[in-house]
Amino acid sequence: MDRRNLLRGALAVPAAGLLSAAPAHAAGERAAAQRAVGADAAGEGADAAGTAAPPAFDVLVGDVVSGRIFLFGRNRPFTDANIKWQLNPVGSGAPLEHRFRDTSGDGQVLLAVTGTPNSGTASIYRRRDKKLLWSANIPNYPHAIERARGTGVVVVAGRSKGPGGGEAKGGSLHVFRPTDGHSGSLVRAGAPIPFPQAHGLLWDPRLERMWAAGGSVLRAYRIVTTASSARLVEDTDRRLTGFHHPHDLQPDHQHPGRLLVTDTNGVYAVDKATMKRTTLHTRRLVKSYVHHSSGEQMWTGAVAGGNAFGTKYVHFNVSGVPRAREGAVIYKARLDTTAYL
Per-residue tens of pLDDT for the chain, all 341 residues: 223 332 333 343 333 322 222 233 333 334 433 333 333 333 333 333 345 678 999 999 999 999 999 999 999 999 999 999 999 999 989 999 999 999 999 999 999 999 999 889 999 999 999 999 999 999 999 999 999 999 999 999 999 987 776 677 899 999 999 999 999 999 999 999 999 999 999 999 999 999 999 999 999 999 999 999 999 999 999 999 999 999 999 999 999 999 999 999 999 999 999 999 999 999 999 999 999 999 999 999 999 999 999 999 999 999 888 999 999 999 999 999 999 98
Res 327: pLDDT: 98
Nearest CA to 329 out of 314, 317, 339, 316 is that of 314
Alpha helix ranges (H) inside the chain: 3-15, 23-43
Nearest CA to 245 out of 166, 156, 163 is that of 166
| Domain range list for the chain | 58-276+305-310+325-335
DSSP 337: -
The one-letter amino acid at 160: S
**Which numeric CATH code is attached to 58-276+305-310+325-335?**
2.130.10.10
Pairing status of strand 171-177 against strand 187-188: antiparallel
Measured distance CA(89)–CA(104) in Å, rounded: 23
Rounded to two decimals, the pTM is 0.86
